[in-house]
Amino acid sequence: MSESPQPVAKCEISLTVNGQVVTVCVHAMDRLLDVLRHELGLAGTKEGCGEGECGSCSVLMDGMLVNSCLIPALQASGTNIVTIEGLASDGRLRVLQQAFLECGGAQCGICTPGMILAAHHLLRKNPQPTVEEIREGLSGNLCRCTGYMQIFEAVAEAGRREATT
Amino acid sequence: MRAHPAEYELFAPGGLSAVLSLLAQAPGAWLPIAGGTDVMVQYSAGNLRARRLVSIWNLPELRRIEVLSDEMQIGAGCTYTDLREHGVVSREFALLSSAARWTGGIANQNRGTLGGNIVNASPAADSLPALLVYEAELLLVSVRGERRVPYRDFHVGYRRTQIAPDELIRTICLKRRFSEYYAQARKVGARNAQAIAKVSLAGLGRLADGVVEDIRLAMGSVAPVPLRLTETERIVKGRRVDPVLVQLARKTAAAEVRPIDDIRSTARYRAAVAGNLVAEFLENMSTNGSIT
Amino acid sequence: MKKGSIVGASVPRKEGRGKVTGQARYVDDMVLPGMLYGATVRSRLPRGKIKKFNFGPGINWNEFVVVSPEDIPGKNCIALLDEDQPCLADGIANHPEEPLLLLAHADRHVFPKAVEAVSVEYDPLPAIFSMEESERLSQIIWGADNTFESFVIEKGDVDAVWENADHIVEGEYTTGAQEHLYIENNGMIAAFDQRQGLTVWGSLQCPFYVHKALMKLCDLPADRVRVVQMETGGAFGGKEEYPSMIAAHAALLAIKSGKPVKIIYDRMEDMAATTKRHPSRTRHRTAVSKDGSILGGEIEFTLDGGAYKTLSPVVLSRGAIHAGGPYYWPSIRIRARAVATNAPPHGAFRGFGAPQSLFALERHMDRIAHAVGLSSVEIRRRNLLKPGQTTTTGQVVREEINLGKLLDRALELSDYYAKKEKFAAENQQGRQKKGIGIAAFLHGAGFTGSGERYLGSVVGVEAGADGSVRILVSSTEFGQGTKTALCQIVAEALGLRYEDVGIAQPDTKEVPNSGPTVASRTVMVVGKLVQSAAAGIKQTLTARGMLGDSYSPEEFRAACRAYVAEHGKFRCLARYEQPDDVAWDEKEHRGSAYAAFAWAVYVAEVSVDLATYSVSVDDFVALQEVGKVLHPVLASGQIIGGVAQAIGFALYEKVIWEKGRMQNGQMTNYIMPTSADLPAIRVYFEELGNVHGAYGAKGIGELPMDGPAPAILNAIEDALDVPFNSIPLLPEDIFDALAERAAPESAIPLARGKP
């Protein structure tokens, strides 16, 4: 019968979140998702499954779309994180968010932050995606409300609008 | 989340040699974690037995791809996205490319690594059948030095590999001699994305005048380890692809695999589909793949 | 609809901005000072007497607040239709995952271990896990005979039809449990103080259901219990009754600890412990004449209710009433029964019994077609209800619905005939077989029968001191557009801009009880009441000469300001009254079951891959008559989302049970469709209006759940010429059926591996 382990000490981790350098005192194995929500009060990133399947916890880490529920805090050290809260200030993403609003891309809204991050990531790599490319790009983000079609329309619309500005 | 973060240590010593020293100090005590797409799922579910982890994420020595004249050297820390974005991998190692494409969604492809897929050693792992047919070799590294092992011997049992407790996979080496082969891979999951394979096939073949000059077939999720279908290859090699051979190959493959019933599927389904995928491979190769 | 009007336009979602910027606040986003976290110790047995709890070593139990049944101030029950379900097991556990004890602690990370460390000594009791076992009565686990509810619906003289029938067609159809899989798990926060009483905040559909349950559990009067709905991340019925349970748990811990307590389930717990769609078994026996007319029939409709009654009687009722579908039955006998098993109680899920009985019916119609030698189209055409005819409960179809034309339009939109012919030819060879299938159905909107009358819903519209207008309802938003639609209705009714109308967040302290947000009733029933209350506001102002017959929004605001300055609070309430033409006999289950039906014909096109036996839905046409489309984008969104969930119900979502416990309770193993699995779902509407609904609207939230599964299985039968009568239908099932039919020499010898 194993004895209770000694609690591991917390460590200081610095990272950039939405353009601001922050330092948090957390366990190395705290999930980035929990660091964002609990240490930094950024509740926009959601937990839907805790197993990297639903994508509600998606954020950008050094420009890459990742599931923050699967990232230990220590591995986020020194990285550049963008969450849904960080998108509103960027002019381009207001187009995407506006398109979501107009096309019915958000119903209950719980998948929406992750979905918008994934769409943003897709549009940055591929500004004029086809429906198939949108389908593939968002295939790691589950939505139970919309059946996806109005989300695809929102992303395609955002791409079209971006092309004309 | 069913684990207490205060009960887990995670260090990032920073360089490969520092990591190897740590592993050597207490062999078996430290679990390497790269992108975490397997380890963190176990952790969150409260099923991670290891309490001490060492990060090998983004180590430059592990996350590089070198193209030599006769060989591709893929660092074990390369992610699926790295593989998808690499031109030579796409052109010459299409089976690996397709495996990368159907692993998880984009977010998981950005973090999951080839080395992690190998060492986690799930029989359902997406990239392993491809490595079998490409006859990969693994460069394993430790403080004791480097050794090169053929991948075909690497898996010794269910989720058990030849890797020593103080070793890491450094590089996956693929000989650049398959661009002339017909290549086809197929994954059968419960859905089209974000699915664990119920059956998967990676196949390479070469026809000359309708006769099978070379054939390599490997499957996932049909045995405790990724499986080369050596018996099926044997009865196909040197023969002309015709309906009789296709049917024989179908039956042989279905009998050669050793699938089980589990939460995802049944043994009888997996066996039948294994046979069907092999038959489909031969038919497609004969329609599309003639070289001479 | 006049140009520029708000109803009928796709205005921006009222609460949408918060959702697309991450500002929307769900229960897990809220933290209260001094808050503890709560967790639940659950039964591992399907059934057994609880002898003793042992609090194991390695945990500092002094740090925990522990709640057991003895701590319950009022009655140990979750009051709903009945009071048979305990809040914490009362000496006997009746299903796996049944709550036994509650724990609270400041550090949420301690829980998995702490919960594990509570071991329970049981005297196991024999348990039952299927409808058949329950019916056999080898174990009585509930009441006198394991039956939560049973009744018979009868019309005409069924016993006389068999003699003259040219065909008697029988069939048995089953549907499995389905998990809601809302992306936001269940969660609640509770706080208690002696002065204010009890407050709970959470993810929920029905604030007053929770309110009622907490009053009974905590022995508190109505004005000392307050329930506040937070932004809710999906519900689909899964947050209709279950929130009362988790709210009860949080409340008990809050009362005992004196601190706010938050309970948030993780995905594994939510899947294993909360409600699912009722599994069903339907047996049809139908007398048909040689020209394909239905003469009469018997339907036996049985639901597995799990371990406690919860809402099973109402699910049974709706399922049984829909069991005859949109067809004319000269005579029918529907025997309906909901039985108990030792599984977590099954509950409300979009469609609420109708997807189950309509699956059976629409599969059975194709079986009848085969037996009689008619096409799937023709058998339906000959039996579809016409205005003036009566439904299975004797309700007269009063509206001018032409179901034959609806069928024709669906066939045209889907290019049905051309495709059917093309597929038949192409299926002769190739690697896949394609098929096309249809389903015709209906869905009654609003509560069944006298339900709306019993609810006596009340709504309010209020003008504030600044002249702004606010809607007061307990109807909740969880993605379906409650806030948007109700604001559109009031803005339209008052001649204001959409932006001028707001809606209060449902808080039992602030809003009247407009009934639960279920049964596709919100736009139709609550919307009509809200329209009425808005009219009342306007009338008050015009009657006092404070407003002319036509006015600008600014003049309206000024009039409201003036009224409030003079009279104080300016609020108009409206209460539901049952229309004269909706009369229902609950005991006999006869009469007008619903104030309005929406009608639909769906067409599914599938391909079956012969190598993998996987089914892909390649095209889907969803055509429905819905009274009035108040918001095109929202309405389409409801249909597409419902069809997607129903595709999951048909082809992907299997709950794997082991002795009453779900084994695949993770998103990786419970398979819902991703974006890569769904076709473009083509949605079309027709509008006949509805006198009983706001601006002519009928309810549509649940309708799309009813048709896809049978349409898809009809298409699969068209493709493979093999009938399947059970869902979910997985590739493994298709393989087994095809292998069974294959010639012996194709049988494949297996080398079996060891697990």
Domain at C451-575: CATH code = 3.30.365.10
Question: How close A1 comes to chain B (CA, Å)?
Answer: 14
A101 and A81 fall within a common domain: no
pLDDT, residue C732, reads: 98
Among A86, A104, A119, the domain boundary falls at A86
**How far is residue B126's CA from residue C330's CA, in Å, rounded to a whole number?**
58
Q: Which of C28, C480, C681 is nearest residue A149 as measured by Cβ atoms?
A: C681
Q: Are strands A11-17 and A20-26 parallel, antiparallel or unpaired?
A: antiparallel
Residue B227 scores a pLDDT above 70 = yes
CA distances from C415 to C109, C362, C426, C644 (A): 57, 20, 16, 21
- Cβ separation A101–C58 shorter than 8 A: no
DSSP state of C748: P
Token pair in block for residue A97: 């968010």
A123 and A99 fall within a common domain: yes
Sheet containing A64-67: order of strands: A20-26, A11-17, A80-82, A58-61, A64-67
In a domain, A64, yes or no: yes
- Give the residue from B206, B190, B194, B208 showing the smallest Cα distance to B263: B190
- Cβ separation B107–A30 shorter than 8 A: no
Q: Which of C21, C236, C641 is nearest residue A84 as measured by Cβ atoms?
A: C21
Among A68, A86, A104, the domain boundary falls at A86
Residue A1 scores a pLDDT above 50 = no
Summarised one tens digit per residue, pLDDT across range C378-401 is 999 999 999 999 999 999 999 999
pLDDT, residue A90, reads: 53
pLDDT, residue C533, reads: 98
A81 and A105 fall within a common domain: no
Whether residue C81 contacts residue C309, with contact meaning beta carbons closer than 8 Å, is answered with yes
CATH of the domain at A55: 3.10.20.30
A43 and A103 fall within a common domain: no
pLDDT, residue B104, reads: 86
CATH of the domain at A148: 1.10.150.120
- Class of B60-175 in CATH: alpha beta
Query: Residue B224: its chain C contacts at CB < 8 A?
Result: 753
Query: Residue A47: its chain C contacts at CB < 8 A?
Result: 28
Q: Chains A, B: CB contacts under 8 A, how many?
A: 107
A28 and A62 fall within a common domain: yes
Domains of chain B, residue spans: 7-55, 60-175, 182-288
In a domain, A5, yes or no: no
A75 and A112 fall within a common domain: no
Q: How many domains does chain A have?
A: 2
Q: For residue A155, what are the domain limits?
A: 95-164
Residue B291 scores a pLDDT above 80 = no
A30 and A76 fall within a common domain: yes
Q: Are strands A11-17 and A80-82 parallel, antiparallel or unpaired?
A: parallel
CATH topology assigned to domain B182-288: Enolase-like; domain 1 (3.30.390)
Summarised one tens digit per residue, pLDDT across range B210-220 is 899 999 999 99
Establish whether domains B60-175 and B182-288 are of one fold: no
Domains of chain C, residue spans: 31-125+181-273, 280-448+588-742, 451-575
pLDDT, residue C445, reads: 94
Q: Per CB distance under 8 Å, which residues of B are interface residues toward A?
A: 1, 3, 5-12, 33, 35-37, 40-41, 43-45, 51, 53, 55, 57, 81, 104-108, 110-111, 192-194
User: Is domain C31-125+181-273 annotated with CATH 3.30.1540.20?
Assistant: no
Mean pLDDT of chain B: 96
**How far is residue B153's CA from residue A72's CA, in Å, rounded to a whole number?**
33
A100 and A82 fall within a common domain: no
* pTM of the model as a whole: 0.97
pLDDT, residue C751, reads: 45
- Give the residue from C315, C333, C407, C323 showing the smallest Cα distance to C358: C323
- Give the ipTM: 0.96
Summarised one tens digit per residue, pLDDT across range C149-159 is 999 999 999 99
- Give the residue from A40, A132, A145 showing the smallest Cα distance to A85: A40
In a domain, A113, yes or no: yes
What percentage of chain B has pLDDT greater than the value 90?
A: 96
Establish whether domains C31-125+181-273 and C280-448+588-742 are of one fold: yes
Residue A92 scores a pLDDT above 70 = no
A151 and A99 fall within a common domain: yes
In a domain, A3, yes or no: no
Residues of chain C with pLDDT under 50: 1-3, 744-755
CATH topology assigned to domain C280-448+588-742: Aldehyde Oxidoreductase; domain 4 (3.30.365)
Q: Per CB distance under 8 Å, which residues of A are interface residues toward B?
A: 5, 7-8, 26-31, 34, 50-53, 55, 58, 64-67, 69-72, 74-75, 77, 118, 121-122, 136-142
Q: Tell me whether residue B162 is exposed, middle or buried, using C-beta atoms within 10 angstroms of its C-beta: 0 to 12, 13 to 18, 19 or more.
A: middle
What is the pLDDT confidence band of residue A6, given thresholds at 50, 70 and 90?
Answer: confident
In a domain, A6, yes or no: no
The answer, for C672 touching chain A at a CB cutoff of 8 Å, is: yes
**How far is residue C712's CA from residue C654's CA, in Å, rounded to a whole number?**
16
